[in-house]
C-alpha cells in the first residue's frame, strides 16, 4: 500500500511539472517583442555595447561573440518602435527597425553581418523564424 502511495506522489509531481511547462509560454503578452540578435561576423568581430530598444524598454550586452546570438523579451508599453545601437571594430552603428503595429506581439530576428550591415525578419506571434 505504501508503494502505491509513493508512486501516486511521484506521478503528481510529474503532472505539476508538465502543467508548469505548458503554462509558462502563456506569460508572453499580446504586445511583447521577442528579439534575437545574431552576430554573423568572423572570429575577432565582436559586437560591443549592444543596446536593443523596444518602445520604453531596452536590453544591453557588453559583448556578443562572433557566431553567437543573444535574445530578450521587451515590453514596449505603447508604440513598439524597435531600434539598436552597437560598436563593431571601433565604429558605432545605429539601426532603426521596421514599423510595427501597436498592440501586436512580434518575434524579431536581427542579423549583423561582418561589415555591420543589419538585416531583419519579423512575424506576428505566435510564430517561429528560421
What confidence score (pLDDT) does residue 118 get? Answer: 97
User: In the structure, what pLDDT confidence band is assigned to residue 130 with cuts at 50, 70 and 90?
Assistant: confident
Instruction: Give 81-96 pLDDT, tens digit per residue.
Output: 999 999 999 999 999 9
Longest C-alpha distance within the chain, in Å?
Answer: 71
Sheet holding 33-39, edge to edge: 69-74, 33-39, 106-112, 118-124
Residues 15-43 pLDDT 10s: 554 444 444 444 555 779 999 999 999 99
CB of 108 closer than 8 Å to CB of 34: yes
For residue 60, cis peptide bond before it (omega within 30 degrees of 0)? no
Q: Rounded to an integer, what distance in angstroms lies between the CA atom of residue 64 and that of residue 77?
A: 27
Distance (Å, rounded) from C-alpha 126 to C-alpha 20?
A: 19
Average pLDDT across the chain, whole number: 84
Q: What is the percent of the chain with per-residue pLDDT over 90, rounded to a whole number?
A: 63
Pairing of strands 106-112, 33-39: parallel
Give the confidence band of 103 by pLDDT, cuts at 50, 70, 90: confident
Question: In the chain, what percentage of residues exceed pLDDT 70?
Answer: 78
Beta bridge partners of 61: 50
The DSSP output letter for 34 is: E
Could you tell me which residues come within 8 angstroms of residue 101 by beta carbon, excluding any fewer than 6 positions away?
80
pTM metric for this prediction: 0.77
At 76, the pLDDT band (50, 70, 90 cuts) reads confident
Q: What is the pLDDT of residue 24?
A: 43
Q: Would you state the pLDDT for residue 1?
A: 54
What are the structural domains of the chain?
A: 28-124 (2.60.40.2890)
Determine if the peptide bond prior to 126 is cis (ω within 30°). yes
Amino acid at each position: 500500500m505504501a508503494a502505491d502511495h509513493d508512486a501516486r506522489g511521484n506521478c503528481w509531481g510529474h503532472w505539476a511539472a508538465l502543467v508548469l511547462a505548458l503554462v509558462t509560454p502563456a506569460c508572453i503578452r499580446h504586445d511583447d517583442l521577442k528579439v534575437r540578435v545574431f552576430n554573423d561576423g568572423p572570429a575577432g568581430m565582436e559586437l560591443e555595447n549592444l543596446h536593443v530598444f523596444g518602445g520604453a524598454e531596452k536590453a544591453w550586452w557588453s559583448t556578443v561573440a562572433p557566431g553567437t546570438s543573444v535574445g530578450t523579451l521587451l515590453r514596449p508599453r505603447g508604440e513598439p518602435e524597435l531600434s539598436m545601437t552597437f560598436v563593431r571594430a571601433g565604429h558605432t552603428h545605429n539601426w532603426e527597425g521596421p514599423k510595427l503595429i501597436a498592440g501586436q506581439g512580434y518575434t524579431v530576428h536581427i542579423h549583423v553581418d561582418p561589415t555591420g550591415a543589419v538585416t531583419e525578419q519579423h512575424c506576428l506571434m505566435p510564430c517561429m523564424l528560421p
